[in-house]
Amino acid sequence: MSPDGVIAFLTHLEEERNNGVGTRNIRLSAIHSFFRYLASKFPDYLHISQRILAIPFKRTINRMIEYLEHHEINAVLESIDRSKNNGKRDYALFLLMFNTGARVQETVNLKTTDLCLTKPFSVYLFGKGRKERTCPIWKETADALQIYAQAGKIDLRKSEPLFLNRQGNPLSRHGVGYLLNKYLKKTMEDHPTLKGKRLHPHSIRHSTALHLLKSGIDLSTIANWLGHVSINTTNKYVTIDLEMKQKAIAKAEPLGDRVHEGNSWRDDPNILDWLESL
């Protein structure tokens, strides 16, 4: 493989397969890793390895993080028909995701034995980077999970997949995305603010982080809650909420010339007297 060949491959990804810059950079990162290994083990290939390692990554555009406001989450939950078993499952699923901020894969991987539905209510999550954490849940979430288990005849004492599809198989990430889109469409009629948002299951995790931040929870606790390896990952949420920015600017001392906010010059008797004396 030559540097020209690598560049041609990356161009093919973007122009013919319509992959984004992020995908292009991920592929290049894998190629770089291979040629670092090659250079360390086979010095004869050092020159070509250095040329390929010099191929730069492209700068990506950081898109705004989309999330659901607290009232929008409530609206989505209220749109679920809980008279049916699938509705009981969906309600418990999304309430748990918002409560814990769990990643989609963490949620669909849950076993029945990962739940503690007696006080103190909690759920065990096995996350990214093989990181384990136990997250507390509300009584309302525990009740919803209990109702779902009873309706679906799920034995919580056995280690079985928790969230199942209609075929009785574990619910997939795509299945969660399909369900969320279904309920978002139902909710959009009464909540038009949802129409301009690019929402997906991971948006619920963002929503949890913002809800915790607005509630005054410190960043270190939020990082542990979400299972972030570094608090730097959590810091991004501080910059995206307009309401918090408005509160911050209100507390700051303004700069520049302040325009007089009282009555106009026409109501100033000194100015009027001076004009009359002319």
Q: Which residues are catalytic?
A: 103, 128, 202, 205, 228, 237
* Helices and strands, number each (H, E), in the chain: 13, 3
Neighbour tally for 245: CB within 10 Å: 12
Taking Cα atoms as reference points, which of 122, 99, 125 lies closest to residue 204? 99
DSSP β-bridge partners for residue 164: 170
Angle between helices 139-151 and 85-100 (to 10 degrees): 150
Taking Cα atoms as reference points, which of 31, 112, 26 lies closest to residue 123? 112
Taking Cα atoms as reference points, which of 102, 149, 147, 103 lies closest to residue 122? 102
